[in-house]
Chain A
Amino acid sequence: MSFWLELAASGLITGGIYAVVAIGLNLQYGLMRIMNISHGEFLMLGAYLAYWAHTTMQLSPLVALPAIFAALFVLGLLVYRLCFRRIARTAPNVEAIEARSLLVGFGLMFLVQNAAYLAWGADLRGYQYLAETVNIGGALFGANRLVVFAFAIATSLALLVALRYTLLGKAVRAMMQSPTGAQLVGIDTSVLHPAVFGCGLGLAGVAGALLSMVYEISPSMGEPYTVTALIVITLGGLGSVSGSLLGGLLLGLVEALGMHFTSPSLKMLLSYGVFIAVLLARPRGLFAR
């Protein structure tokens, strides 16, 4: 019994990370039709920042989380200003915005990843943090994993609350539903778009920082998460943050179980399989009404 608990927990923990990454991408794509394929690279940057904070300043990654979010938020503003704003202005239609931001993201991916290789080298790095095991009901969990899960859920819920109850959050939701209507009411896209983009990257950084507590980091660690984030968005429905949360957890669970019965190397095949199955059965997401 405890074995299954551990397996499920492991899946949920990974799923929590997936949720945080997916929410960021969901907001960006749902609002601006920017599919930032380099999203995973900013997760990697967050991980390295946490590593650096821990090894040089002995700072707990949890304490550093807000700062990491802020740092990547600012980076996101910069990236948006330099790379994506022009696309929104010069593209003739939505399809062109999507296509061009994909290409820019592709270039950005190589730029950021290789900058990391240049700066830090290709070796895996890691640090120990809260590595003691905790016993809950006979099942053993790493304390750091529990903390990761808690913070991932907390972050996702915080974002849900922000979207639902703050003015800025409502503005974002309004814009996602009706861009013209929102602008007529006075919501300023030139402020909102960079802010949401920055928020998305900030979330990716937080996910990376959380991951660094549990796994070793390397410059190429972020790549798979972009694809997974897309799968989660599809599961949960585009534009739905709660859908991304549930979808992420679900995907994590399915992967953990699937990998147990087949093999860890088939993880991607499993996720793709889930993706295609969901698309065929419920194209608008598992939770769409």
Chain B
Amino acid sequence: MRFGGLVAVDGVDLEVRERELVGVIGPNGAGKTTFFHTLSGVLAPSAGRLLVCGADLTGRPAHEFAAHGVARTFQTPRVFPGMSAEQNVRFGLEFAGRRRSHAHDAFSDARAILGFLGLADMADVPAGGLTPARQRLLEIGMALGARPGVLLLDEVAAGLTEAEVELAAALIRRVRDELGLAVVWIEHAVRVLMQCVERVAVLHQGRKIADGLPHEVARDAAVMEAYLGQDAIHENGSAA
């Protein structure tokens, strides 16, 4: 992905299989969010191809990605502040969610999704009035409303307490286990992510420098070098 003279994402290949929980980590400026923008159709890539369930969606607008089952959250929660929490979730259901039938139609309506996320009693609260932590959860709810096959999560843990992060991670596992979705998860809270996911890709300065099982990636020399001076990754993925 090229912006003028700057190459933000350079030759990153990522394959995500059904029901796979993949983590994407990397130091600041590695191009992770830009990568997500291309994955969700927000940005059209300067080069390369995007295949979603066999359909070539390269350069298509974002709503087609949503129609093919790609749903995402943003680094800072983008909810519709004037609408209630329930309306926010219902939005996804009304549009992308309509076109997709999903094996797990446990989610026939917004309230069920809110219940899954533990936000059931906030249903009528205007989204702008929720705490940031709850807004993050709501954003996941909005994405779930679109009945996706793949969920792209951009930094769920930012600004959350340790306990909240653990809850979020458990929720993400449930999304994969109970709903059968594939999940791609960008995160700075590397430790939690490494304990949760089954595969990790590491981006550094726009390139993918590692892709494999968490404990192997943690011992990868290139990865340690990339993180040197920031957080060194030790065995079992605990942050220094």
Contacts and interface: CB of A to CB of B under 8 A. Distances in A.
Are chains A and B touching directly in their complex (CB below 8 angstroms)? yes
Interface string A263-289: 000000000000000000000000011
Contacts of A288: 4
The secondary structure that dominates the B interface is loop
Interface size class of B (residues with CB under 8 A): under 10
Nearest to B81: A92
Interface in B1-36: 4-5
Contacts of B5: 289
A65 B91 CA distance: 57
Interface residues of A, number: 2
A288 B4 CA distance: 9
Nearest to A92: B81
B149 to A, nearest CB: 31
A120 to B, nearest CB: 46
Nearest to A289: B4
B128 to A, nearest CB: 9
B120 to A, nearest CB: 28
Contacts of B4: 288-289
Interface string B122-146: 0000000000000000000000000
Nearest to B128: A92
Nearest to B4: A289
B59 to A, nearest CB: 14
A233 B5 CA distance: 22
Interface in A18-73: none
Nearest to B5: A289
A289 B2 CA distance: 12
B176 to A, nearest CB: 34
Contacts of A289: 4-5
Interface in A92-131: none
A289 B4 CA distance: 7
Interface string A244-280: 0000000000000000000000000000000000000
B223 to A, nearest CB: 30
B122 to A, nearest CB: 22
A288 B3 CA distance: 12
B189 to A, nearest CB: 25
A288 B5 CA distance: 11
B75 to A, nearest CB: 16
A73 B79 CA distance: 41
B94 to A, nearest CB: 23
Nearest to A288: B4
A180 to B, nearest CB: 15
A265 B207 CA distance: 55
A289 B5 CA distance: 8
A73 to B, nearest CB: 33
B8 to A, nearest CB: 16
A74 B5 CA distance: 39
Interface string B157-174: 000000000000000000
A289 B3 CA distance: 10
A219 B4 CA distance: 43
Interface in A196-226: none
A238 to B, nearest CB: 13
A282 to B, nearest CB: 13
A95 B71 CA distance: 24
A218 to B, nearest CB: 43
A17 B150 CA distance: 54
A178 to B, nearest CB: 14
B74 to A, nearest CB: 14
Interface string B206-221: 0000000000000000
A169 B5 CA distance: 24
A160 B5 CA distance: 23
3 contacts: A288-B4, A289-B4, A289-B5
Interface of B: 4-5
Shortest 3 CB-CB distances between A and B: which pairs? A289-B4, A289-B5, A288-B4
Interface of A: 288-289
